[in-house]
Structure 1
Amino acid sequence: MTAHELLTTTRSVRKRLDLQRPVDPALVRECIETALQAPSGSNAQRWHWLVLTDPEVRREVGALYQKSCRAYLDSPNAAGRLYADDPERSRVQARVNDSVAHLADRMGEVPVLVIPCLQLPSETLPEGNQAGLWGSVLPAAWSYMLAARARGLGTAWTTLHLRYEDEVARVLGLPANVRQAALIPTAHYTGDTFKPAPRAPLSEVLHENGW
C-alpha cells in the first residue's frame, strides 16, 4: 500500500467491524509502537494507551458510549441533521448517522477498544493553548489508526464517551491527572477494502496568504 492509498482509504469503520474475529494483541502493540513515533510538544511524550480486551470492561465502557451517543443523535448537531438543504450531501450525512447509531449499539462488543490518554502535571486542564496540549496526543492516535489500516484492521475515531469521562475513568481506575483523548474501536473488517470518501472540493477550503 502506498502512502497515498493509506492516507486516502483510512476510514472510520463502524458497520464493517468484525465483532466475531479475535484480534492478535501483537498487532495492536505494533500499531501503538508506530504511534509512539508521532510528534509531541517539547518531546514530552506524556501519552498513555489503554487497551481494553476484557469483556466486562468493554461492556461497561460501551454502555456509557451508547448512552452518550443516544443524546448526540437526538441533538441538533447529529450528523443526520447537518446539510439538510443540500440533497446530495444530506444523503451522505444520513448514512453517517445510521452508521454512528449502529456502532453505538455494539461498541461494547468490539474486540479491542483503545483509549489514548495524556498524563498532565496536575489534575486540572491548563488554561490557554488547548491545541498545543491535545496536539501532543492526537497525531499519535491518528498514526495508530493508519498503522491499523496497514495491518488489515479497521478503526473509528470517536470521542462521544467523553461526555461521561469521569465515569469511564472510574471503570478504568485512571489517576485524576490522566485525561482521555479518544476512544478507538479496533477490529478486523468485513469486505475487501475501502475507497476515498467524498469531500468538499479544495477550492472551497483553500486560502492562500490570508482568508
Structure 2
Amino acid sequence: MIGVVTPDELLTTTRTVRKRLDLERPVPREVVEDCVRIALQAPSGSNRQTWQWIVVTDPDQRAAVGAVYKKSCETYLESQGAAGRLFAEDPERSKVQKRVHDSVAFLADRMGDVPVLVLPCLRVASGRLPSGNQAGMWGSILPAAWSYCLAARARGLGTAWTTLHLAYENEVAEILGLPEDVFQTALIPTAYYTGDTFKPAPRQPVSEVLHWDRW
C-alpha cells in the first residue's frame, strides 16, 4: 500500500537500507511488478527502452548470487577505498563512514537472505560495450533503476543500490542464465524495512558544490 509522502520527502528520505531490511517478511510479487511498472516510465536514450529486469526470489538463486556478492564485498572491505577508511582526518565524518562500513559488511553476510534481489539490465544489440563514451548508454537504464527505488520507498520497501557484484559479473550472469547481450547495471536488494521511517542525511552545503556559468 502506498503511503502519503510528498515528492520532496520521497526524494530526500529514500536511503540505502542494509541493517533495517526485514529478511523474514515476504514481498508480494505484485508489489515488485508495480515498482518495475513505475520504473518503465523513466527516460531512455532515443526512447529505445532496451532495459530488462531480473527479479530473483528463488532461495537457491538468491543464495548463489549472495555468495558471489559476499566474495566481492570482502575484497572491497579490505581495500583502501572502503567506506570505513575514508575521511579518517575528519572525526565526525569518520564516524559516519565507519557506520556505513559496518552496514556494508552486515549486508554482505545476508544478501542471499533478502527476499527479493532486483538486477536492472541493459540489452546491447552488438553484445559488446562501446569503447568510447558510455554515458548515454548507462543513462538509458540508471534513471529507471532509481525510479524503482523511489517506487519501492513509497510502498514501504527498503532498497540498497550496489554494484560490488560486477567484479564477478560473468559468474552472476551464469547463475541467472543471462544472454551475452544483456549487461547488469546494479544489484538492488529489496525488502520491507523495520522501524518507522527515514530522514534526510547530512550533505554538503549547496554553496560548496554549485557553480554558475563556469567553475
> TM-score normalized by structure 2?
0.97
Letter in 1 for 2:181: N
Match of 2:36 among 27, 32, 39: 32
Distance in structure 2 (CA, Å) of the matches to 1:5 and 1:113: 25
CA drift at 1:142: 0.2
Match of 2:127 among 123, 130, 134: 123
Q: What residue ranges of structure 1 are gaps of 5+ in the alignment?
A: none
Match of 1:67 among 59, 68, 71: 71
1:45 maps to 2:44: no
Q: What secondary structure does 2:207 align onto?
A: helix
What is the count of residue pairs matched by the alignment?
Answer: 211
CA drift at 1:121: 1.0
- Name the structure 1 match of 2:205: 201
Letter in 2 for 1:103: L
Distance in structure 2 (CA, Å) of the matches to 1:70 and 1:201: 33
CA drift at 1:80: 0.5
CA drift at 1:174: 0.4
Letter in 2 for 1:82: L
Q: What residue ranges of structure 2 are gaps of 5+ in the alignment?
A: none
CA offset digits 1:130-159 (Å, max 9, x no partner): 111100000000000000000000000000
Letter in 1 for 2:151: A
Letter in 2 for 1:179: F
CA offset digits 1:62-117 (Å, max 9, x no partner): 00000000000000100001111111111100000000000010000000000000
Distance in structure 1 (CA, Å) of the matches to 2:150 and 2:49: 19
CA offset digits 1:141-192 (Å, max 9, x no partner): 0000000000000000000000000000000000011000000000000000
Q: What secondary structure does 1:26 align onto?
A: helix
Percent of pairs with identical residues: 71
Correspondences of 1:118-197 after superposition (within 5 Å)? 118-197=122-201
Distance in structure 2 (CA, Å) of the matches to 1:52 and 1:101: 21
Match of 1:82 among 86, 105, 109: 86
- Name the structure 2 match of 1:210: 214
CA drift at 1:127: 2.0
CA drift at 1:202: 1.1
Letter in 1 for 2:205: P
Q: What secondary structure does 1:22 align onto?
A: coil
> TM-score normalized by structure 1?
0.99
Runs of 4+ in structure 1 off by over 3 angstroms are none
